[in-house]
Amino acid sequence: MKPFEAGGVPRPVEVWPNISGEDQDDVIAQEVPVALTYNGSAYAVMMATPLNLEALGLGFSLTEGILKHPSELYGVEIVEQDGSIEVSMTVSTRRFEALKATRRAIAGRTGCGVCGKESLGQIPLSVMPVEQTFVVTHKAVQKATMALVDHQPLQQLTGAVHGAAWCSLEGRILEVCEDVGRHNALDKLVGQLSPQNIFEVPGFLLMSSRASYEIIQKAAIAGIAMIVTLSAPTSLAIDLAASGGITLVGFSRAHRHLAYCHPHRLAEEVEEAKEVSHDSI
């Protein structure tokens, strides 16, 4: 049996061919209903992996525009009940009143960032421009890409979760959050790092998933200027990244990746990176 990991549960499986003839268990990624409440009022329910839920609550609040700054979150309580979890948040009166004015009822899913919106007008089709001047070498992108699997313990055990990683300009992975939902993983990362103002220091986001529109939207709100994904982007993701000044790299694999927009932040060598960075100041 694989070793147990937080966020995973054992389940019996039938293996073919079963050479040993023994019953076996596998570690399966947990997926549970998680309700987000603000000042006692229900706001959203999503399917998520029960890890880093405090960070999920803060990150979701920031990337959805409910909070403008981490300091507006006064407290978080995690309440487990009957197979579900409530992330009970206490926020400033000002933010709660604004939330009530624009309140929506959504039922989030692991694969969708639009589910539950009540009208087309609620879907943001543009992002505020992200203005950061820095350069990353292609080798740094490759270094982070190839190292990601070693920073995803739950993915190694279950094969069922996404990872959101924050990387230095040199391609060193500084933090990784995992979840069955790609946007949940990103929200956890934002919630984990925003209180430390990490995103004010140049770096790039690496996602194990595709680049969908909500990944670009959430990254833009967090002030992230460069996104690298292991899979493909969608057309709306490219359009949003292009309009927001965000460098979008997809299909990042060994010895190859594709830049879809704003490739000026990518350079071949360190010397070129320094020269481009100097010229752009």
Q: What is the DSSP code string of 89-105?
A: EEE-HHHHHHHHHT---
Please give the pLDDT value at position 118.
52
All structural domains of the chain = 32-122 (3.10.20.10), 136-280 (3.40.140.10)
Distance of alpha carbon 160 from alpha carbon 104, whole angstroms: 30
Torsion over CA: 266, 181, 53, 41 (sign)? positive
- Between 42-51, 118-127, 188-197, 255-264, the lowest mean confidence (pLDDT) is in 118-127
- Between 52-61, 71-80, 217-226, 267-276, the lowest mean confidence (pLDDT) is in 267-276
- Between 61-65, 109-113, 236-240, the lowest mean confidence (pLDDT) is in 109-113
Half-sphere exposure of 71 (CA within 13 A, CB side): 1
Asked if the model's pLDDT at residue 277 lies above 60, the reply is no
Please give the pLDDT value at position 163.
98
Which residue numbers are catalytic? 112
Whether residue 178 contacts residue 162, with contact meaning beta carbons closer than 8 Å, is answered with yes
Where would I find the H helices in the chain?
Answer: 53-63, 93-101, 138-147, 153-158, 182-193, 213-222, 235-243, 270-280
Asked if the model's pLDDT at residue 1 lies above 90, the reply is no
Distance of alpha carbon 271 from alpha carbon 18, whole angstroms: 55
Instruction: Give Cα 61 distance to the centre of its chain.
Output: 13
Q: Average of pLDDT values for 14-32?
A: 91
Distance of alpha carbon 95 from alpha carbon 232, whole angstroms: 36
Instruction: Of 204, 264, 209, 213, give the one whose Cα is nearest residue 238.
Output: 213
Q: What digits encode the pLDDT tens for the residues 67-119?
A: 999 999 999 999 998 889 999 999 999 999 999 887 654 445 555 555 445 55
Does residue 79 sit in helix, strand or coil? strand
* Adjacency order of strands within the sheet including 41-48: 73-81, 84-91, 32-38, 41-48, 106-107
pTM: 0.89
Whether residue 174 contacts residue 203, with contact meaning beta carbons closer than 8 Å, is answered with yes
Average per-residue pLDDT in the chain? 90
Instruction: Of 37, 59, 31, give the one whose Cα is nearest residue 184.
Output: 59
> How does strand 226-229 pair with strand 204-207?
parallel
Read off the amino acid at residue 277.
S
Q: What digits encode the pLDDT tens for the residues 156-186?
A: 999 999 999 999 999 999 999 999 999 999 9
Whether residue 134 contacts residue 140, with contact meaning beta carbons closer than 8 Å, is answered with no
Residue 126 pLDDT class (50, 70, 90 cuts):
confident
Whether residue 235 contacts residue 128, with contact meaning beta carbons closer than 8 Å, is answered with no
Half-sphere exposure of 275 (CA within 13 A, CB side): 6
Q: What digits encode the pLDDT tens for the residues 94-104?
A: 999 999 887 65
